[in-house]
Structure 1
């Protein structure tokens, strides 16, 4: 045998690992043998030590053996493997933060509240998914809206779970999930406005296109807590409703619209919970709609 050939024991000792470890990686083709001795024993060249150290470094990052094999076969995949691991760790950390806040929520409540809160939290995945909220909006919105409009509405209406939630945000999101998940029996807080109902002659796509613009115009006033008042935002709001009905913006129309909107079913409970989840100064579409309705009434 050449002088620079090592036995499996010598390689293990040089690398600071067990013989079992070397054999494990050899059997999986990650650590190729240079030759076999006359007695059939494994012999390794000096490059095996570098390979073994690289394997240990990759495994120390918790990369699974198949991913280690991919990196050894083609080093340029290391960037993709690392990116995938970072995404996985991000999801795990988000789940741990959510569980920590949920445990604090249970720890800080009274015994009488604990059972109800445990039921709410138990119905939400960790980290939480927004799929249930998205399904709610796809069912609540009128049919045949343009896909780009549906996407824009859902993006604004569905809150993303906070990366580092407080116990209060965990509770708000759990209540929001329960709200959209329970069966809808026609109760007013989840009912449909008249413009959603077919056969009424309304054009919901025209309405929602206009509302998106009206909410954007009014958001600065709502954020600054200005009193509801006339202006461009209210004009755009009324115009959206008038266009959806094939009507003109007149004083009579505004009076009739104010009466109709006052009697329509609302999902205010949803928007209150969204505001608690977001915990930011940005107004929700629900808060902006309330401001515009109050401006119309004034």
Structure 2
């Protein structure tokens, strides 16, 4: 409560009680955030009893780095006596997202600096070039563009999204220097120009068309998961459920029956397709915790299954 007979106070007293400058009070008043109760005949501002609490609220909101439009929305909601406080909740949530993004960017910069610091002198120039091409936080857009160019153009959107979810690794929020290097190399690999207008999609995949490819990739994803279980157990490639699911995925996509002749032909066809082993090795570096054995990737699972197919067809010649 102010001490003046009319219960109002001047701009100087309000500033002093709030611990701010007169200039600050005038700034918020001029922008309509801190209404005046009246003005004297000499034009001096007078503020009511609620002005001090309102000014303190404004300062608290600004201390959270909320922009003035957000502060205005929150104050308007307070004036309307809306108990839900949705404007404040939305503003805080937005600031948390923004802050999280900035913290992630700082962690990536720190890891990149450590990478340069720990690199042998002969490798620093190349690594500086690689990490210089990254945004912070890093973007997966180059990787997604690479795979979209690799996939059939008219593949259903849901199937494309499911494929990209597996093929494009999510950059960690708190990376190690080795992960920064791996992601920088992934970006460089997927951004490099390729021969021809499109990425070299395997002939075994291109032959089935867009809808057939959707069926194929769905079946392959299940086969890769089964193979990954065996790979974590250190099982050598063998003919089992994982291989049967792998072959069945191709058979369904081609609209043919599985059998010894089909498996022999499939082994030959897959052996001649282009490889993306380097990509999957970098993905493994990105996703494997330090000190742990490499986690299976779709690429390494494919190689395991192809080795199992080769072994089976070698034992069962035509």
Shorter-chain TM range is over 0.9
Q: Determine whether 1:35 maps to 2:45.
A: no
1:265 alignment counterpart: 274
Q: RMSD value over aligned CA atoms?
A: 2.0
Paired residues, what number? 296
Match of 1:133 among 116, 138, 143: 143
1:150 corresponds to: 160
* Aligned counterparts of 2:268 and 2:208: Cα–Cα separation in 1: 21
Identify which range, 4-13 or 213-222, moves more after superposition. 213-222
- In the alignment, is residue 207 of structure 1 matched against residue 216 of structure 2? yes
CA distance in 1, matches of 2:88, 2:168: 35
Q: CA deviation at 1:22?
A: 0.6
Unaligned runs of 5+ in 2: 79-84, 312-318
Q: Is this contact kept in 1: 2:155–2:210, CA < 8 A?
A: no
- Aligned equivalents of 1:223 and 1:147: distance in 2? 32
User: 1:37, 1:183 → 2: CA distance?
Assistant: 73
* TM norm structure 1: 0.93
Indicate which of 291, 300, 306 corresponds to 1:287. Answer: 300
Cα separation, 2, equivalents of 1:261 and 1:216: 19
Cross-structure match for 2:9: 6
Conservation of the 8 A alpha-carbon contact between 1:195 and 1:202: no
**Separation in 2 of the partners of 1:202 and 1:155?**
18
CA distance 1:199–1:205, change in 2 (3 Å): closer
> Quick one: higher RCO (CA 8 Å, sep 6+), 1 or 2?
1
Retained in 2: the 8 A contact 1:195–1:203?
A: no
Is structure 2 residue 110 aligned with structure 1 residue 94?
no
Spell out the pairing of 1:100-119 with structure 2 (5 A cutoff).
100-119=110-129
Which deviations, in whole Å up to 9, do the C-alpha atoms of 1:219-267 show, x marking residues without a partner? 2112222211111111111122223333322222222222221221111
| Contact 1:132/1:180 (8 A) holds in 2 | yes
Partner secondary structure for residue 152 of structure 2: coil
- CA deviation digits over 1:43-74, x for unaligned, max 9? 11121111111111111111112211111111
Q: Which moved more, 1:244-253 or 1:263-272?
A: 244-253
**Stretches (4+) displaced over 4 A:** 198-202
- 8 A Cα contact 1:176 1:273, kept in partner: yes
Aligned pairs for 1:11-22 within 5 A: 11-22=14-25
Partner of residue 192, structure 2: 182
